[in-house]
């Protein structure tokens, strides 16, 4: 099978593109990435050269896991536009079958956009990505998120670009807004051929409690930056799905993608291709081998001929809360063969959920490991679930350290499907 895709008229050998950012700042990086197997590169955003701060990245760790979240206050490319454009043309010359996309950001004037579009397309690039999402530095200058947070501006500038563009135009959306689907619709009205999302989220990554300085620190001061990495993936998935339900143009998914599973989830919710940045900054270009191998094997296991057959299959299953079945019932069931007697399920249920798990203290269990306010009876070490009181919230299964030890099993209760909306309708006499 082939992972080859056609995204809004842009062809690439696989759906894995490098997102506009530090890994796509030079020809050398682009060459190494495409040689490693990436399907395309979105060049680091080109515009008027900027001066970046020296300290610019911050990370969020959890235990031994590094960089579950990543923050940056870096701006667009600090190299002259002519240098970037010359190198972009060379990258496309060397890799004609791969996607080379120009990411653009200039001041909000029609003439400025027309000029940069012509210069970018003269490189032979396959498409243009309009950066309407940078949440810091450029937004303070009336660009980036300052444009992307206003649907009217998004539509207007997209229309300006389409007046001059010969190649497909992708609008990159900011997540720093209440309803991202409104921006997607505005981009579509402006004539965008596709959208990409999400850009980074406004954030302060942390505080150094020894020096009492915000992170990252520049001479003792700090500023809000753009948040990305694995921790933003759920937010990105939600926004991709919301846009997929509102617009018909292709969607490129971005945000926390580090494994083939992450990519498959974005595709299943409506993305036609995906972009990766933070994972490459953490692990290097070679991760694309695992991304391609994993996605290809997954598609084969499911009997799918290509990426397009997975795209959007889950989108129709996303609905409003009011349409969910209130009569659906599941309960927690603990597998005694796998239980290690840690009683985390009991503690979580007792203090944080619905008090439906009873502890059991087996031989050798230290009472200090269990709940401090409970008198534990002797007996089996496996906690017991009172199924008649279990509300099926999933918390016990989520905190359990043993995979597959707690099953959330469906209970057939003989009740028909009934949603909140249906109950409201009955109450109003309109069912």
What are the catalytic residues? Answer: 134
Q: Which of 228, 219, 243 is nearest to 281 (CA)?
A: 228
How buried is residue 49: exposed, middle or buried, by Cβ count under 10 Å (0-12/13-18/19+)? Answer: middle
Here the contacts of 81-85 (C-beta below 8 Å, separation 24 or greater) are 81/46, 81/47, 81/48, 81/49, 81/116, 81/119, 84/43, 84/44, 84/46, 85/46, 85/119, 85/120, 85/122, 85/123
Q: What is the DSSP string of 227-277?
A: EESGGGHHHHHHHHHHHHTT--S-EEEESS--SHHHHHHHHHTT-SEEEE-
Structure tokens at 145: 């998120």
Q: Residue 10's beta-bridge partner residues?
A: 7
When computed from its CA atoms, the radius of gyration of the chain, rounded to whole angstroms, is 25
| Strand (E) or helix (H) holding 387 | none
Cα(256)–Cα(229) distance, rounded to whole angstroms? 4
């Amino acid at each position: 099978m082939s992972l080859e895709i056609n995204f809004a008229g842009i062809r690439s050998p696989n759906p894995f593109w490098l997102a506009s950012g530090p890994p796509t700042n030079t020809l050398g990086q682009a060459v190494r990435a495409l040689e490693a197997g990436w399907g395309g590169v979105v060049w680091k955003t080109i515009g008027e050269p900027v001066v970046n701060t020296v300290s610019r990245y911050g990370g969020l760790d959890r235990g031994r896991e590094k960089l579950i979240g990543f923050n940056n206050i870096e701006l667009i490319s600090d190299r002259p536009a002519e240098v970037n454009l010359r190198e972009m043309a060379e990258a496309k010359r060397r890799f004609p079958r791969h996607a080379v996309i120009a990411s653009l950001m200039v001041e909000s004037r029609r003439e400025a956009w027309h000029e940069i579009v012509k210069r970018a397309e003269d490189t032979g690039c396959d498409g243009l990505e309009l950066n309407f999402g940078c949440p810091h530095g450029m937004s303070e200058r009336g660009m980036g998120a300052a444009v992307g947070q206003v649907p009217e501006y998004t539509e207007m500038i997209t229309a300006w670009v389409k007046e001059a563009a010969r190649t497909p135009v992708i609008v990159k959306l900011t997540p720093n807004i209440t309803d991202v689907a409104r921006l997607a619709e505005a981009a579509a009205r402006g004539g965008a051929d596709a959208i990409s999302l999400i850009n980074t989220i406004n954030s302060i990554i942390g505080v150094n409690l020894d020096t009492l300085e915000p992170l990252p620190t520049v001479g003792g001061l700090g500023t809000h930056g753009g948040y990305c990495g694995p921790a933003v993936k759920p937010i990105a998935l939600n926004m991709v799905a919301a846009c997929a339900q509102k617009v018909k143009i292709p969607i490129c998914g971005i945000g926390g993608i580090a494994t083939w599973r992450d990519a498959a989830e974005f595709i299943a919710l409506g993305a036609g291709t995906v972009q990766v940045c933070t994972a490459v900054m953490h692990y290097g270009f070679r991760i694309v081998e695992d991304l391609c191998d994993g996605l290809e094997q997954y598609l084969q296991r499911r009997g799918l001929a290509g990426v397009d057959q997975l795209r959007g299959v889950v989108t129709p299953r996303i609905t409003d809360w009011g349409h969910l079945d209130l009569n659906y019932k599941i309960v927690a069931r603990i597998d005694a063969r796998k239980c290690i007697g840690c009683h985390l399920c009991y503690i979580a249920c007792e203090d944080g959920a619905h008090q439906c798990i009873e502890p059991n203290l087996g031989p050798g269990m230290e009472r200090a490991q269990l709940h401090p306010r409970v008198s534990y009876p002797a007996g089996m070490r496996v906690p017991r679930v009172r199924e008649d009181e279990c509300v099926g919230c999933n918390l016990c299964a989520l905190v359990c350290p043993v995979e597959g030890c707690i099953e959330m099993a469906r209970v057939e209760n003989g009740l028909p499907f009934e949603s909140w909306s249906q109950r409201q309708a009955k109450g109003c006499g309109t069912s």
